[in-house]
Structure 1
Amino acid sequence: MNAVNDDPNGDGPHHDGPHHDDLRYVYAVCRPLAAPLAADLTGVGGVPPRQLTHAGLVALVGPVPERDFAEEPLRAHLEDLDWLSETARAHQRVIDALTSVTCPLPLRLATVFRDDSGVRAMLEDGAERFHRVLERIDGRVEWGVKVHMESEESAAPRAPADAPRPSGPGSGRDYLRRRRSQRTAQEESWQRAEAFARELHETLSQRADDSRLHAPQNTELSRAPGRNVLNAAYLVTRADSEEFVELVDRTKDEDQGTSRLRVELTGPWAAYSFTGDEKDRAE
């Protein structure tokens, strides 16, 4: 028999159910929770999520109005950065709360179904994959590590505005020589940065159960200073996370010479980068 628990935590007073014209926003899929979520947890639209249980799986869902989340209005909303940011924060708030009590498989932002039956069908159709992935990420969290290299331009001291400029017959040749020297220094710095990133990734991968290399971040979009050399995710057991963090922190204290490297650690997160499996990635 299919069981639907309309209470966000599986116990306590029931929240008013969704209106007949509301859609179902699905945050994540997980195993039945061994501990309750925070009583004051709210998701998209300020509404507490509830648990919908089917096929031995739990989908965390919340009602959302069709006027905002039907296909056409949703497409328009996704172009509204303010709306998108607010929705993403509410989505992440639920995922973070869920990650504190279990190891969820988070779904994409704005995953919406017509009704509870649609959510059950999703759980039924994907049950084999969901169970397989949940088994693999059980007891584990994701840590993100980025390495940035400060640009030559931002690092180089600027000459005073009133500094005399070189002149004379040899200035052109001197200028070209300086430019070649700068390009050589930049290339050497980049090679050192790449070597450091490769070595760091190999070291961290040995301490993780799995790892993913993502494409370097676009500096203009991320607004992070410098050039992104490494953008990686690591799946680490909760028990080993403290040691993993200490290992990353030690790299921050190392002198990286003239490469001007910055190591950034984020997490712990739900295992966003590890919710697929080999078959999913091949497809």
Structure 2
Amino acid sequence: LRVAKRISNKILVELKFLHQIIFGRLRKSLAELYVINGQYEKALSLYAELLKPEVFEFIEKYNMYDAIHDKIVNLMIVDNKRTVHLRTQHRDIILPYEVVEQLLHTSKKCDKRYLLHLYLHALFEIDIHAGKDFHDMQVELYADYETRMLLPFLLTSQHYRLDKGASFVLGRMGNAKEALSTIINKLEDMQEAVEFVTEQHDDELWEELIRQCLQKPEMVGNLLEHTVGNLDPLYIVSLVPDGLEIPRLQDRLVKIVTDYRTETSL
């Protein structure tokens, strides 16, 4: 009985495989008939569903760029490089949001986040503003798939929001000093900078934080407000060059003393 069951299962698998082959050939033949009859959109749909590499030549030959809006995922599965090139070169016809939406919500088996990264990266290299609505997403994608490109992206793009998540993302860049510089000079977020340095457990990075802040009077003031429990404010003040005026220095020192007393009394 067990032998018969194994044979039966094997036959079912072979029949299923045979069915797929026959069905695939029939659909390919149908696509060819559509071409003969000039029904190019129907032919394109079948070629895309069959995941045929020649679909790209078909699109180019019959100028079918307007007809591939709903076939993005299948084309990416067939050849992601050619699809990315196709979509970036014809981004006026195939809008970025269409590509992103289809990849985000596809149920097909594929690494959709990686495909998103490939597409958005290629789009950014051609036109830094074309995919601006997805730059927040792109920050995470660079952190996951191409860390070396994250810093250039952060320094070039003006369309991402990177406040509370800055330390998480930049901490994965591998270059702590450059990451810190980005937080201080681009984000201008001292709290984020202090949190970032704290997470690195690197005394030299604290010195780097002070050094970079000393280049901007307002940054020195902001740093003083975040010293409690982290840095000696007197040490920072001693490093301030003669003649450098720190905005609201007296008020900030009063606040530091008050915060220190509060902390030590707990």
Give the TM-score taking structure 2 as reference length: 0.22
Comparing both structures, which one devotes a greater share of its residues to strand?
Answer: 1
Give the TM-score taking structure 1 as reference length: 0.21
Higher Cα radius of gyration: 2
- Higher RCO (CA-CA < 8 Å; seq separation 6+): 1
Comparing both structures, which one devotes a greater share of its residues to helix?
Answer: 2
